[in-house]
């Protein structure tokens, strides 16, 4: 409860300090795209439940490090410690308890899941910096989706995407209001919720 109260106070103080962003910071766009590509569940942080972290980390690991998995019939299997390490790159608080999610099973120190078909490519781009205080930043992030094999650059503008790959132009999805904290080794996500005026 105390953490939520602190986050609410930070959000209120950040909300009054907004600045426009044309395309956004490349490092931030990459981090936000990592969140949307692995379909991070909405949460109003700063510490989502372990199920949210596990579900995201397994999916993110499957994108970034497919060699970390072994095949077991129709399932992909990965050690829990690799899932914990992947979660630590994105969240401010570690996974406390290993557990099953709606799509992922936990058995004997390993996670297993059936990878779906990659029928879309998803990414995000900073739409606006809503405020910042110290190392904490609140952003409005526009999500996009297109067909796999897209040739564009996530940091470019829609007109550049149309010129680069006219047959596969990204379509706007949800706008996410996201709170990030900047650490020495990159960002961590503290909150990831749909924007109210979407």
- Dump pLDDT digits (tens) for 30-74: 999 999 999 999 999 899 999 999 999 999 999 999 999 999 999
Residue 64 has which token pair?
């970034």
pTM across the whole model = 0.85
Model confidence band, residue 24 (pLDDT cutoffs 50, 70, 90): very low
Q: Nearest to residue 169, comparing CAs of 178, 180, 161, 157? A: 161
Higher pLDDT, 176 or 116: 176
Residue 9: CB partners within 8 Å, gap ≥ 6? none
Residue 167: CB partners within 8 Å, gap ≥ 6? none
Residues 152-175 have pLDDT tens digits of: 999 999 999 999 999 999 999 999
Q: Nearest to residue 92, comparing CAs of 5, 3, 195, 194? A: 3
Residue 137 has which token pair?
């930043």
CA gap 155, 161 in Å, rounded: 10
Higher pLDDT, 2 or 25: 25
């Amino acid at each position: 409860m105390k953490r939520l109260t602190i986050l609410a106070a930070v959000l209120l103080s950040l909300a009054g300090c907004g600045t426009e962003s044309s395309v956004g910071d490349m490092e931030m766009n990459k981090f936000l795209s990592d969140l949307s590509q692995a379909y991070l569940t909405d949460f109003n942080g700063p510490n989502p439940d372990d199920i949210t972290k596990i579900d995201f980390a397994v999916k993110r690991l499957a994108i970034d490090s497919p060699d970390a998995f072994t095949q077991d019939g129709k399932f992909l299997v990965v050690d829990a410690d690799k899932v914990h390490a992947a979660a630590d790159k994105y969240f401010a608080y570690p996974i406390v308890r290993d557990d099953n999610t709606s799509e992922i099973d936990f058995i004997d120190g390993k996670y297993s899941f059936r990878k779906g078909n990659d029928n879309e490519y998803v990414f995000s781009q900073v739409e606006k910096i809503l405020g910042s205080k110290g190392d904490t930043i609140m952003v409005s992030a526009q999500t996009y989706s297109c067909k796999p094999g897209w040739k564009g650059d996530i940091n470019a503008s829609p007109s550049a995407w149309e010129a680069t790959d006219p047959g596969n132009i990204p379509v706007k999805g949800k706008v996410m209001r996201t709170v990030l904290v900047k650490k020495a080794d990159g960002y961590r996500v503290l909150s990831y919720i749909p924007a109210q005026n979407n």
